Structure 1
Amino acid sequence: MADSPLIVLLGNDDDDDDHRVLFDGVRRCGGRPRRVHPDELVTEVTAEATRFLVDGRDLAPDLMFGWVYEDYLILGMNQLETARLAGIPVVNSAMTLLRGQSKYLNSALLHRAKVPHLPVLWGRDEDTLAAWTAERGYPMVTKPLMSSRGRGMHRLTDEASVRHHARGIGPGPEQYYVQPYVPARHRDTRVLCVNYQAVAAVERVAPEGTWISNAPGNTRHRAELTPELRAIAEQAAESMDALFAGVDLACDEQTGQWCVYEVNTCPTCTATFRELGTDPVPLTELASFLVAAALDFDGARRDWRPATTL
């Protein structure tokens, strides 16, 4: 193991600002960061060994960190799992990233772990959806199975809108994913967790004229990381095996109860914390954890604790 461990982030440059902050933190902690695009990585698998190459040169990471989603999710998952099978420690593994992208798996895992979460229905059958929503009441919210930043979300307010949505589902494997609407004053809270431990919380308020709190143009504020919020978020992150996670929650204004919407496994935060006038603490804490995990993966999982929380 090198004294200055090589930490490879597998991802593209869509979240470049976050990667720069993370890499600065890795260097301060004594590590060597490098981003490798999934298209750049060449893998040789033989009976003797697995090799990774970039530009024809061997790449020997001490740890790989997965930051792939949407178009590069499946390719990146294969590469991360191959690295894990080759004995390289992986943070946010192939299955973790799939769980974070798939609202199917998000819901199944959250309910399995007894995390407060909404009932959901997914599938294609129109009549089943109409009966389910009528029984539970309106409004309902529908989301694409794999999306981010509020894209493709709609409110369903009656049976006609439910049936219209079901009939609009395209061919192939696309399905509906529907859950009750939470009256939360058009706001939610994202809790950032590292090694299943909450380090910061941010409240997000929907832009004027919309109810989607994570849509572009939303307003963000520091949120208090209360013991209740911390406990729910940490349990949610652990249910996904997400060593870096953004847990999205809302507080029902009618019941006062928190529920988790979903767990994001590639959460951006640099722009948010700059807007709030503070350092992006989740990324500096993540850098500390990644270097510790590159040097001793099991020990870091067991013993690492954040130095700062917001």
Structure 2
Amino acid sequence: MAEAPLIVLLGNDDDDDDHRVLFAEIRRLGGAARRVHPDELVTEVTAEGTRFLVDGSELAPDLMFGWVYEDYLLLGMNQLETARLSGLPVVNSAMTLLRGQSKYLNSVLLHRAGVRHLPVLWGRDEETLVSWTAERGYPMVTKPLMSSRGRGMYRLTDEASVRDYTGSLGPGPEQYYVQPFVPAGHRDTRVLCVNHHAVAAVTRIAPEGTWISNAPGNTRHRAELTPELCAIAEGAARAMNALFAGVDVAHDERTGELRVYEVNTCPTCTATYRELGTDPVPLMELASFLVAAARDFDGARAGWRPSVAV
């Protein structure tokens, strides 16, 4: 029997439930899995090549999978790019994770790929934002550069609220990121994609009293993967070059069109699927892809297909 390919997940234990499920499925499929915290990884770079070490012993992965964000994003990006440059296959590379964390880059890439998104304005100049919002109409939504679960989102309803918001920006590089509010019944659908294929979808409904669909306390139910939903989600995943992605899609009640809010490149799903009383299908499909990619990266990229869609 061929030796089990080693898949190293670079990340911390914030999403431990997802990692446990993923690793169990990798092992069931004949692979080996290990999580390495970015602080644990030691890298040696010489003229002869690059080596990775953990606890003084050399680490020889067949594939490295990036699951870093927020505080560990920059360090993890450097480590993942070093791995890629050394010749290791990397799933969700440094640039993919940056694109997923940065809403600015999300918007640029989605628009350039022709994926239905939203117009956005980002910067610091108050008068430009006042003019832009007045021209486009209220309400508007603000989002921080990096956030999750709806933290830091606000709705702007008039010029006064725009000026109050810009006045609250801290010193230094903090900037606004503003886009029109989408009337979508206070709900959206997260589509999970593996190797640019949609594998599952969950609709999220905002808690009573709020309009933020991914806020804690939201209601979730399984959603049908329609051809239109698959097409827009898969296009968004390709735009980010994200081999594992959670694509947040809204149904615009004004136009009847689907629009992508953003693409998350470290999406969690175990808790959601546990609540829905079913297996975390996206992680099962991800494990299948990672084992195939660890054995033959180019072949898996070209030929892997999901076994089931929910």
Q: Give the TM-score normalised by the residue count of structure 1.
A: 0.99
SS of the equivalent of 1:18 reads: helix
Counterpart of 2:47? 47
Distance of 2:272 and 2:225 partners within structure 1: 16
Distance of 1:164 and 1:291 partners within structure 2: 51
Please report how far the alpha carbon of residue 228 of structure 1 lies from its aligned counterpart in structure 2 after TM superposition. 0.2
Aligned pairs, number: 309
* Offset from partner CA, 1:37-57 (integer Å, 9 cap, x none): 000000000011101000000
Q: Which amino acid aligns with 1:107?
A: S
Please report how far the alpha carbon of residue 133 of structure 1 lies from its aligned counterpart in structure 2 after TM superposition. 0.2
Report the identity percentage. Answer: 83
* Offset from partner CA, 1:261-290 (integer Å, 9 cap, x none): 000000000010111111100000000000
Distance of 2:306 and 2:185 partners within structure 1: 32
Counterpart of 1:227? 227
Counterpart of 2:267? 267
SS of the equivalent of 1:259 reads: strand
SS of the equivalent of 1:260 reads: strand
Counterpart of 1:84? 84
Distance of 2:28 and 2:231 partners within structure 1: 30
Unaligned runs of 5+ in 1: none
Distance of 2:21 and 2:217 partners within structure 1: 22
Distance of 1:196 and 1:38 partners within structure 2: 26
Distance of 1:99 and 1:149 partners within structure 2: 18
Counterpart of 1:177? 177
Distance of 2:266 and 2:118 partners within structure 1: 22
Structure 1 residue 141 corresponds to structure 2 residue 144: no
Counterpart of 1:98? 98
Counterpart of 1:107? 107
Please report how far the alpha carbon of residue 222 of structure 1 lies from its aligned counterpart in structure 2 after TM superposition. 0.6
Q: Which amino acid aligns with 1:264?
A: N
SS of the equivalent of 2:284 reads: helix
Please report how far the alpha carbon of residue 159 of structure 1 lies from its aligned counterpart in structure 2 after TM superposition. 0.4
Counterpart of 1:21? 21
Please report how far the alpha carbon of residue 202 of structure 1 lies from its aligned counterpart in structure 2 after TM superposition. 0.3
SS of the equivalent of 1:105 reads: helix
Q: Which amino acid aligns with 1:89?
A: P
Distance of 2:308 and 2:180 partners within structure 1: 36
Q: Give the TM-score normalised by the residue count of structure 2.
A: 0.99
Distance of 1:246 and 1:266 partners within structure 2: 8
Please report how far the alpha carbon of residue 3 of structure 1 lies from its aligned counterpart in structure 2 after TM superposition. 2.4
RMSD: 0.6
Q: Relative to structure 2, which stretch is displaced further, 249-258 or 89-98?
A: 249-258
Please report how far the alpha carbon of residue 106 of structure 1 lies from its aligned counterpart in structure 2 after TM superposition. 0.1
Please report how far the alpha carbon of residue 168 of structure 1 lies from its aligned counterpart in structure 2 after TM superposition. 1.1
Unaligned runs of 5+ in 2: none
Counterpart of 1:243? 243
Distance of 1:239 and 1:23 partners within structure 2: 27
Stretches of 4+ aligned residues off by more than 6 angstroms: none
SS of the equivalent of 1:203 reads: strand
Distance of 1:125 and 1:119 partners within structure 2: 17
Structure 1 residue 126 corresponds to structure 2 residue 136: no
* Offset from partner CA, 1:216-250 (integer Å, 9 cap, x none): 11100111110000000000000000000000010
Q: Which amino acid aligns with 2:28?
A: R
Distance of 1:58 and 1:43 partners within structure 2: 10
SS of the equivalent of 2:290 reads: helix
